[in-house]
Structure formats: C-alpha cells, structure tokens
Amino acid sequence: MNLSGKHILLGLSGGIAAYKACDLVRRLRDAGAEVRVVMTEGATHFLTPLTLQALSGHPVRASLWDETAEAAMGHIELARWADAILIAPASADVMARLAAGLADDLLTTLCLATEVPLFLAPAMNRVMWAHPATQANVQTLAARGTTLFGPAAGTQACGETGEGRMLEPLELVALLSRHLAPEQNRPWAGRRVVITAGPTREALDPVRFLSNRSSGRMGFALAEAARDAGAEVVLVSGPTALPTPEGVTRIDVETALQMRDAVMTQMPCDIFIGTAAVADYRPLEPAPGKIKKTADQLNLTLVKNPDILSEVAARLDRPFVVGFAAETEHVLEHARDKLVRKRLDLIAANRVGEGLAFDQPDNALTVLWAGGQAELPQADKRQLARQLIELIDQRITPRA
C-alpha cells in the first residue's frame, strides 16, 4: 500500500464508526499520505478534534465559520491542497447533502469546491442503507463519479446484522491506494490466477442432481480481490446466481468432471485457488430417463470424483496452490492434514453447518501453511478475500 506524498483530506461525519477514524488516520500516514481532517458537527459528538489533531499532526477543522482557521488555511485553499477527499464514515445524512449539492457545512462546501476524486465509506444501520432515499442518493453520487468503498455486511453497533458496516481502515487504505496510485499498488500485475467457485451438480437423471449449499460468494470475492491486485483472473464457476465480476473471465461448468477439464485448460498459471465445493462423488451412471418411484428403496451407486486441487498441485508446472477446508468438527486438524496430503501451499479453514459459512455473506477463516497460521476473524467475505490475497502475496514473495 503506497500513498507516498498524497494529500488526503479525511472527512468524518457523525456515526459510531467514527471511532475507526483514529486508526484510519494512522494507517493513511503509515502508507505515506499527509492527512488533514475535517469533521461535521455530528462527528464531534463521537470524537474530539484534539484526538485527530494529535494523530494527523495538523489542526482539525469542524466549522466553516472559524476565523482563525480560515486565516491560516482558508477552505478554498484546503480544497486545492487535497489530492483526494475520503469521507469515512459517510453517514446517510452527509450522502444526502452531497447528492443534493448542499454546502451547509465545511465538509460539504469543500466537496463542492474541489474537482479531486471523492471517495465515500458509508456506515449506517442496515435499514437506513437499504432505504430507497439512501439508495437513490448512492445512484446520484455514483453517476457523478463518486466512488463508494463498501459498506460491508455483518454485525452492526446497533445489534442488527446486515449491510451497512464501514470497511476496516486497512481495507480503505488499500482501496484508496489502488485508485490513487494504481501502478505502485498492483502487486499481482502480470500474474495469472485461476479460481474455482460454487457447487457442482452431479446428475442422477435428466431432472435431478446431487449438489450442496455453496453460494460461490467466497470464490467470486477472491476473483475481485485478485483482479484489484492487478492479476488476470479466470473464474471457473459451478451454478450460482452471482454476477460475473467486471474484468474477470468466467467459465461456467456444472459437474466436477467439467470443472476439472476447464481448470486443466487454464494451466499453467501462477496461482490456483480452489474455493469450489466440488462434489466428492457422482452417480456411476445417470439414469437416461426420469427415475420412477416404483420401488420402496432406491440405491444409488456413487463413484469418486477427481480431486481437482490435488491434480493441480501434482503438476510439474504447479502454481502456488491454495485450498479451502470446510469442516463441521476438528477444523484445524483436518485442514492441516489436507494441507500436507494434497500438497498445498496454503489452506483456509472454516467451520460449516447450521447458519455458518455456506450461503452466508460472512465467514471467519484460519489460514494455515507449513510452519505458520493466521486468524481472519468474522467479516464480510469481500473483506476476507482481500485479507487472504494479502496473505497469499506474503507467502509468494516473503518479505524481509
């Protein structure tokens, strides 16, 4: 993450996620940015300007009518100083005022008085986010070229669960870096990544199949994150309802055998990530016609499907191979065993079962590799995907 020399005007509006802004200022400065903070009146109820002044190293402004501050650096001067404006958290109210073009406080005035890119990290209760008024404002702002980072789904300060959580500071810095300095922030440029996602379907007869609850979300989120890191991404997907991420090549398949064939046509590659919940078995011979319910018992003969991940890992020209382990119990033991048995470079393990992981927007992962492990706590799958790509990156090119 590189923002060296960038002037970031960080706007804070009123919301409980403002507490994350302290860390955000620090992370932005760690990435090399110079940060000046402007708060709405609402934000000052959550954090004091003094805290942010100490963290940013510059006086914080919260009012349009501050004569001393105007004399030191007028608001137009401040608008000219910025290379970008990031509002985090962006409340429903500030988004409404921006969409309407209001300039009723310093922050909205600065947004009107500048031509530099505007980035918003929305943070609000899920019902406020889903409200048609907020969504209409999002559309208006997006059509005007404003970039939205998030929000993520997950547990909220109000105790509810849903979409509306502000992205984590590190993610915001990563996203901002990619927008403002794309060349320095594309560590996977020139790399080819192949990802499997979703379930497979194994036909019993022309109308029925064996399958599982995988939604494909994790794999699709990884495809986006790998693309954002600059990679050329091929996504081999079983049946899902998800839209293809922009800039990603998608190959649709149904069965495990088709998935294996599609993956092999994409070899060699630099990184292979197997998130697909591939059916372990398939019916020996799908019935040519619809199976009739005549007998009291029906026995199915199943045969083992090829293990795509192991096959990729066994190739002489093997890529860096990442697997997933979805387990209902003894998660870490099984995952470590799979890491060794399938000759993987890294494995992401998670607990599945009632209301966990499969078909859910959230997940938590334990990532294992030979000689190490990392915990990625409960978060939106897109956030987890970015963190996982970062971990893979560290394993591919170990840093001193």
In the complex, which residues of this chain contact ligand C5P (CB under 6 A)? Answer: 196, 256, 274-276, 278, 280, 305, 307-309, 323-325, 338
Report the C-alpha gap between 150 and 382 in whole angstroms: 9
Q: Which residues are CB-contacts of 394 (< 8 A; sequence separation ≥ 6)?
A: none
In whole angstroms, the minimum distance from the beta carbon of 357 to ligand C5P comes to: 13
- The residue assigned the tokens 């500030």 is 94
Min CB(338)–ligand C5P separation in Å: 6
If DSSP codes are grouped into helix, strand and coil, which group holds residue 282?
strand
Q: In the complex with ligand C5P, which residue's Cβ is closer, 169 or 323?
A: 323
Cα(195)–Cα(4) distance, integer angstroms: 32
Rounded CA separation 38/337 (Å): 52
Residue 301 DSSP SS3: coil
Q: How far apart are CA 277 and CA 211, in angstroms?
A: 9
Nearest-approach distance from CB 310 to ligand C5P, in angstroms: 7
Question: Is residue 113 within 8 Å of 101, Cβ to Cβ?
Answer: no
C-alpha distance from residue 290 to each of 108, 207, 282, 340 (Å): 64, 7, 17, 42
55 vs 388, beta carbon nearer ligand C5P:
388
Please confirm, yes or no, whether 22 is among the known catalytic residues.
no
Q: Which is nearer to ligand C5P, 93 or 280 (CB)?
A: 280
Q: Annotated catalytic residue: which of 22, 111, 158, 269? A: 158
Number of neighbours of residue 108 by Cβ within 10 angstroms: 22
Least distance to ligand C5P, CB of residue 356, Å: 15
Contact 116, 85 (CB under 8 A): yes
**DSSP-assigned letters across all residues of 236-252:** EE-S-SPPPPTT-EEEE
Q: Which C-beta is closer to ligand C5P: that of 118 or that of 194?
A: 194
Other beta carbons within 10 angstroms of residue 110's beta carbon come to 23
The residues with which 283 forms a beta bridge, in sequence order, are 302
Residue placing its CB nearer to ligand C5P in the complex, 45 or 304: 304
Q: What is the dihedral of CA 163, 356, 194, 198, to 10 degrees?
A: -90
Q: How far is the CB of 324 from ligand C5P (least distance, A)?
A: 4
- The 3-state DSSP class for residue 53 equals helix
CB of 329 to ligand C5P, least distance (A): 13
Q: Which residues are the active-site residues?
A: 158
